[in-house]
Amino acid sequence: MTPSLAKRLDEIYQSGNAIADLLVGDVIMVRLPSGLVTVDRRELLTGLALGVASGVFANVRLTPGTLDQITSTFDGFLDASRFTTSIELKDAIMGWVGYVNALRYNATATDPQRDLLILLARHAELLSWLHEESYDLREASYWIDRAARWADAAGWTEMVAFTFHRRAQMALSYSDDGKHVVRLATDAISHPGADASLKGTASTWLSLGYALLGDRASSDRASDDSLAYLSIATAHPESPVSFIESTTRPDLVTMRRAHAQILMGQGDEPISALEPCLSEIATGSPRRLNTNRARLALAYANAGDVRHAVQLVDETQRAIESLPSVWARRELQRAVAVLHHRWPKRLDVQEIRSRFGS
């Protein structure tokens, strides 16, 4: 963007010099209730680390309706995150984290500080997930740690338990360390804040951790446990801690059991379980669809159906170029590794491996 264009945009949007300021230094633009402001990224992160309000947030105060407006804006961030992991979205959320943190710092004894802490934890958890999906493990870990701290300060034990579940997800997405996945999933299940819904979904990840270890009996047992927990959760629904997945989906355990079988090298059985779910998934989240298509690619590779495996790898790789997904990318890496190991001289395998950058 040129300075002249930035100046013209400031005139159109009546934003002072907010857009022009973006051309100088490491700053982000945030639309707050008071209007459009620019925030120095380093100053914002310093304020979070020290728990203070500074810069443009120094004098913000809670007013009637502020909490409702923050919640409404956060819901908008959730909707947007289903379709993009852009830096603009992450910056906007981080700007609001700075704003809410300042409101908490400047709060009076009668202000609802617990509500502010809960909002901070929710924003941080979303930022963690967005960074994970953008292949940035360092930032994902930073923000999930923030979420845990704020949730703990609020006495929100459900979110604290959920952060262990999130760490188990990250461990599976970025490595094949089954022991680490098992430990983190077990921590989530055994946490005092874990309700039946969280225990159910964490148990499905526990089954995946055991699958990485090649322990089919323990993997199947964890899947059976998840069915029991999710049956309780369905009978007694509670407000979800996170939007990331509906943990009481009737097909969740079936899909995770199929995923575990795929990780243990099986093909035909998980294909027959997973493939019929794709049409329903396609009506919802594109990212979820890409992840499950990537898992199918690995299943077809396990089953020896090279043509279908290569086709799914190619199609899914193209899809995640515009909508990044660390889960889909990890499954594609596993599929390509199996294809190359078993059929290294096939031209289609060589081509897909070359294009995938393996």
**159 phi and psi, to 5 degrees?**
-70, -35
The DSSP code sequence of 40-81 is EHHHHHHHHHHT---GGGTT----TTHHHHHHHHHHHHHHHH
| 290-314: average pLDDT | 95
pLDDT digits (tens, 9 = 90+) for 303-331: 999 999 999 999 999 999 888 888 899 99
CB 313 within 8 A of CB 348: no
Residue 14 pLDDT level (bands cut at 50, 70, 90): low
| 233-259: average pLDDT | 65
Q: Does 281 score more than 90 pLDDT? A: no
CB 222 within 8 A of CB 206: yes
Q: Does 200 score more than 90 pLDDT? A: no
| 238-256: average pLDDT | 60
51-65, 77-91, 137-151, 222-236: least confidently modelled range = 51-65
CA distances from 102 to 46, 66, 99, 151, 163 (A): 12, 13, 5, 17, 24
CA distance 96 to 116: 12
- Give me the chain's average pLDDT, please: 84
Residue 17 confidence (pLDDT): 56
Q: What's the Rg (C-alpha) of the chain?
A: 22
**Which amino acid is it at 305?**
D
Nearest to 39, CA basis, from 87, 81, 108, 97: 97
**Which amino acid is it at 242?**
S
CB 294 within 8 A of CB 287: no
Burial (CB < 10 A; 0-12, 13-18, 19+), residue 134, is middle
Residue 20 confidence (pLDDT): 54
CA distance 319 to 344: 25
CB atoms < 10 A from the CB of 259, how many? Answer: 26
| 50-65: average pLDDT | 75
Residue 311 confidence (pLDDT): 95
**175 phi and psi, to 5 degrees?**
-155, 175
Is the sign of the CA dihedral 70, 76, 82, 88 positive or negative?
negative
CA distances from 13 to 29, 212, 333 (A): 13, 53, 45
- In the three-class reduction of DSSP (H, G, I as helix; E, B as strand; rest coil), residue 174 is classed as helix
pLDDT digits (tens, 9 = 90+) for 158-192: 999 999 999 998 998 888 889 999 999 999 999 99
**Which amino acid is it at 113?**
Q
User: How much of the chain, in percent, has pLDDT values that exceed 90?
Assistant: 43
Q: What is residue 24's DSSP assignment?
A: S
Q: For residue 219, what are its two tokens?
A: 């993997």
**Which amino acid is it at 116?**
L
The domain limits of the chain are: 1-155, 156-251, 265-358
pTM as predicted = 0.79
For residue 349, give every residue at least 6 positions away whose Cβ sits within 8 Å of its Cβ, in sequence order, or none. 306, 310, 339, 340, 343
Residue 125 confidence (pLDDT): 94
